[in-house]
A and B are shown apart, each in its own frame.
Chain A
Amino acid sequence: MSNILEIKDLVVSYGGIEAVKGISMEIPEGEIVTLIGSNGAGKSTTLKSIAGVVKAKNASILLDGKEIAGKSPDYIVSAGITLVPEGRRVFPNLTVLENLKMGAYLRKDSIKDDLDYVYGLFPRLKEREWQLAGTLSGGEQQMLAVARALMSKPRIIMMDEPSLGLAPLVVRDIFEIIKTINQQGITVLLIEQNANMALKIAHKAYVMETGLITLEGTGKELLANESVKEAYLGKSK
């Protein structure tokens, strides 16, 4: 399959400190790609700079071979890349429906079908359409964050720690949803600390440590890899 997104030599620095020190990734179309690594490895920064929210110092990011590095976030969203930010970040004083409408902000066409589509994925949100997003439970807020991102009709959805702070059962639901979304043809770029779950559903995986990619392979390969087991999966001796 061809690569929908190619990242070359991405360098991002915050006030002189390099958080990402020149990484390259290839995201094949229609796959789930995961980026795992410990806290502070630079995973979130990588996603934010792809989304254009954080400016990269040096990068080439190709979407279908077209350069998108340095473009504004609104350009990148309309080009088909959307970010589900870390910690959900729903708009707490807007209703569920208003949150969803915000996801489709840049679209000029009718959003009715897409509303039906995300309500189909998350029937719980339909029930709470008129509720303020801040009153939803953590799991529901995460669903809303994913649904909101889907409203922009993305080709690539990037998720930053979707399992953060959620009960194990809810985490399983979220991963099911990620698989469903992917089966419908949307490419997924997933950051996770829950490496076990992430590697199980990923077609392709990267391991990031202190700003550099140290390992890559298929999800299965990395699950079996000794050093990955030791560092991220809690290898039982």
Chain B
Amino acid sequence: MKKNTKIIASLILAAALLGLLIFIDNSELKSSMLSTCLQKGAIYALVAVSMNLLNGFTGLFSLGQAGFMLIGAYTYAILTIPVASRASVYQYFDGGVVQFAIPVLPAILIAGLMAAVFAALIGLPVLKLKSDYLAIATLGFAEIIRAVIQWQQVAPLTNGSNMLRAFPTYSSILFPFIISGICIAAIILLIRSSYGRAFKAIREDEIAAEAMGINMFKHKMMSFVISSFFAGVGGALLAMFQSSVQAKGFTSAMTYEILLIVVIGGIGSITGSIIASFLFVSSMEWWLRFLDETQFIGDFEVPLLGTGFRMVVFSVVIMIIVLFWRRGIMGNKEFSWDGIFKFFKDPFGIVSKIKAKGAVKKNG
């Protein structure tokens, strides 16, 4: 395919998506399940891509994503609740200690920066650890931060285990798409730069990377801090999406959800993470919902269906994916028009297999 054709095809696709979003935004579909899944999918896509930067491209197996999202969400909420509403939100703590509010965009930025600062602090000790140990340490960090936020001593700041609410949210569903889009574009630029190449070199072979003169600690730290920054931004967006935040929502289960998206999409594929994010959120929130309710086929009541059965089916699907499709939807490749056309010419390599068989028969 020619380069121009590809650019035009990409522009048409982007315009179509944008048109669809604007249409949903202005119709009654805005409060539908479709719209909910799209918004949450966009937010999860950002967090999944940030986790992929760390796990897929730098090869650092970290499980702290929910912790950094939590920091982002709380930072955003604390900074933006209007002063007038603080008395009712912090009703048990005399209106809390923060008595100002800042605009939305700077608050999102600070949410990311705050997550990045925490990442830098815990990165100092934990980035010296390898593989599984790093995963355990970061998982532990996420659990600790969740407990600390609910601690009575910091409650005038964080409202303890009570909910934070009444902060500004977005009115157009385009908002999370635009912020996520900008952030993911920034991550893609980073991965394509020489730093991104250095991250990949570290993933491939630490000793060789070190022999090339890549400062191991500095680069690991950079990847960790940047990934956490975007997880923090994702957390802020999630807070806006939910219109309230509570620390107990950001459990390790949330990290596993993000990890699943990364694995299903393909470790080391940005587009894979994005596609998987929408698929995951839609299945979780929407398509598999019917499994939680009693269903009838004619007069026959389908057995087993009931609350929680959705999760059983979901787990089985994930096991099947991990067993038979280990490299995920995209492997470590990216979406490309050439790939799409190749797929339609020869889906799953069936055509070439048939041709190869034919050739064998002729020869035989």
Which residues of A come within 8 Å of B, CB atoms? 51, 53, 72-74, 76-78, 82-85, 89-94, 98, 101-103, 105-106, 148-149, 152
Contact = CB atoms under 8 A, between A and B. Distances in A.
Contacts of A98: 197, 200
B261 to A, nearest CB: 21
Contacts of B211: 51, 53, 73, 77, 82-85, 89, 149
B213 A105 contact: yes
B109 interface: no
A94 B96 CA distance: 52
Contacts of B198: 102, 105
Interface string B197-214: 110110011011111111
Contacts of A83: 211
B215 interface: yes
Contacts of A72: 215
Interface of B: 194, 197-198, 200-201, 204-205, 207-215, 268, 332
26 contacts: A51-B211, A73-B211, A74-B213, A74-B215, A76-B213, A78-B213, A83-B211, A85-B208, A89-B208, A89-B211, A90-B205, A91-B205, A91-B209, A93-B204, A93-B268, A94-B200, A101-B194, A101-B197, A102-B201, A102-B209, A102-B212, A105-B197, A105-B198, A106-B213, A148-B212, A149-B211
Contact of B201 (A53, A76, A77, A91): A91
Nearest to B213: A77
A83 B211 CA distance: 6
Contact of B208 (A74, A90, A106): A90
Nearest to B205: A89
B214 A74 contact: yes
B201 to A, nearest CB: 5
Nearest to A79: B213
A60 B33 CA distance: 69
B212 A94 contact: no
Contacts of A103: 212
A42 to B, nearest CB: 17
A91 B208 contact: yes
Contact of B212 (A92, A93, A105): A105
- Closest 3 A/B residue pairs (Cβ): A77-B213, A89-B208, A91-B204
Contacts of A89: 205, 207-208, 211
A16 to B, nearest CB: 21
A59 B116 CA distance: 39
A53 B205 contact: no
B327 to A, nearest CB: 12
B330 to A, nearest CB: 14
Contacts of B200: 91, 93-94, 98
Contacts of B209: 91, 102
A94 B204 CA distance: 8
A162 to B, nearest CB: 14
A73 B213 contact: yes
B212 A152 contact: yes
Nearest to B204: A91
A190 B126 CA distance: 37
Contacts of B208: 85, 89-91
Contacts of B210: 53, 73
A105 B211 CA distance: 11
A77 B213 CA distance: 6
A90 B201 CA distance: 9
A18 to B, nearest CB: 22
Contacts of B215: 72-74
Given A77-B212, A94-B201, A101-B197, 14 more contacts: A73-B211, A77-B213, A78-B213, A82-B211, A82-B213, A93-B332, A94-B197, A98-B200, A102-B197, A102-B201, A102-B214, A105-B213, A105-B214, A152-B212
B188 to A, nearest CB: 16
Contacts of B213: 73-74, 76-78, 82, 105-106, 152
B331 to A, nearest CB: 11
B332 A53 contact: no
B278 to A, nearest CB: 26
